[in-house]
Amino acid sequence: MRERVEKAIEKIRPMLMAEGGNLELVEVTDEGTVKVKLTGACGGCPMSQMTLKMGIERILKQEIPELKEVIAV
């Protein structure tokens, strides 16, 4: 599943980079939780949780329906 998550993240990354941010995949658990680290401008942005849940998590779940959640670490 990690490979599928990495491919989906590659689709998301250009949108984040356009705003000065980036995303680092930390872990994909057997339970379907994806742990990511928001970096660059996203790391300190007050809207990062909204970006994570409404953007990143939504897109990853569309690509990989068996995912349960995406959390920032």
Q: What is the pLDDT of residues 45-58, one digit of tens each?
A: 888 999 999 999 99
Query: 21 vs 17, 18, 32, 52, 65, CA distance in Å?
Result: 5, 7, 25, 12, 25
Q: What is the pLDDT of residues 11-30, one digit of tens each?
A: 999 999 999 999 999 999 99
What is the residue-wise DSSP string for 33-73? Answer: EEEEEEEEHHHH-TTHHHIIIIIIIHHHHHH-TT--EEEE-
Helix (H) or strand (E) holding 13: helix 2-18
Q: Which CATH number fits domain 2-72: 1.10.357.10, 3.20.20.10, 3.30.300.130, 3.30.565.10?
A: 3.30.300.130
- pTM for this predicted structure: 0.90
Q: Residue 71: what pLDDT?
A: 95
CA 45 remoteness from chain centre: 15
List the domain boundaries for the chain: 2-72
Average pLDDT, the chain: 93
